[in-house]
């Protein structure tokens, strides 16, 4: 989309190849209820099904056909243990199956536990997430086009922090996809 409103979130902050989301997130909407079930009620299959369907659509765009690896925004191990899974990883399972692109959850980790982002403004979200990620093996990502995925794109602070770290690796390109986008 020309003048993509999601891409505008990141203009001047981080260089991304492309940014997309399947749905618009609105309060009290069906999408909000769906995302709540995925994230807090154990309905992992929602992420997988949406990923499968969206992956087919993404392959229609040449930018996404050049992706080498799918990387979900990681949860801190403590939070993942409590929740039982990473909702973005469930989305990635579906994307991986339909796009025939591997998902990696071992080489990019969240090293620092943070507070919930849900009630924070953009600046406070950025402060909450800067320098929280770690790369286990830079060679794994070198020269690759990474599809960085998240459940909901709001201010973009988490994605920006993650992408900036990944883009420090030689030859890396990053595209971003979310299940839903809020506030665009």
Query: Residues 142-176: pLDDT tens digits?
Result: 999 999 999 999 989 899 999 999 999 999 999 99
DSSP string, 10-33: HTTT---S-EEEEEEE-TTSHHHH
pTM: 0.89
Rounded distance, CA 103 to CA 31, Å?
24
Q: What is the H or E stretch that residue 165 is in?
A: helix 157-166
By CB neighbour count within 10 A (0-12 exposed, 13-18 middle, 19+ buried), where does 116 fall? Answer: exposed
Please state the domain extents for the chain.
5-182
Q: Which of the following CATH numbers is that of domain 5-182: 3.40.50.2020, 3.40.50.620, 3.30.60.50, 3.20.20.10? A: 3.40.50.2020
Residue 112's pLDDT band (boundaries 50, 70, 90)?
confident
At 173, list the tokens.
């390109």
Cα four-point dihedral sign 151, 83, 107, 11: positive
């Amino acid at each position: 989309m020309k003048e993509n409103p999601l891409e505008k979130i990141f203009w001047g902050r981080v260089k991304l190849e492309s940014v997309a989301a399947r749905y618009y997130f609105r309060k009290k909407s069906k999408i909000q209820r769906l995302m709540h079930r995925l994230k807090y009620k154990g309905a992992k299959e929602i992420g997988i099904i949406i990923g499968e369907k969206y992956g087919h659509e993404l392959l229609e765009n040449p930018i996404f056909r050049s992706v080498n690896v799918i990387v979900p925004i990681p949860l801190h191990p403590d939070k993942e243990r409590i929740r039982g899974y990473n909702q973005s990883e469930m989305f990635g399972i579906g994307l991986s199956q339909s796009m025939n692109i591997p998902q990696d959850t071992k080489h990019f980790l969240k090293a620092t536990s943070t507070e919930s982002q849900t009630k924070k403004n953009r600046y406070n979200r950025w402060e909450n997430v800067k320098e929280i990620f770690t790369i286990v093996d830079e060679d794994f990502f070198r020269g690759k086009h990474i599809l960085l995925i998240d459940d909901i794109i709001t201010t973009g602070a988490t994605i920006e922090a993650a992408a900036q770290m990944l883009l420090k690796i030689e030859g890396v390109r990053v595209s971003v996809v979310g299940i839903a986008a809020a506030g665009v």
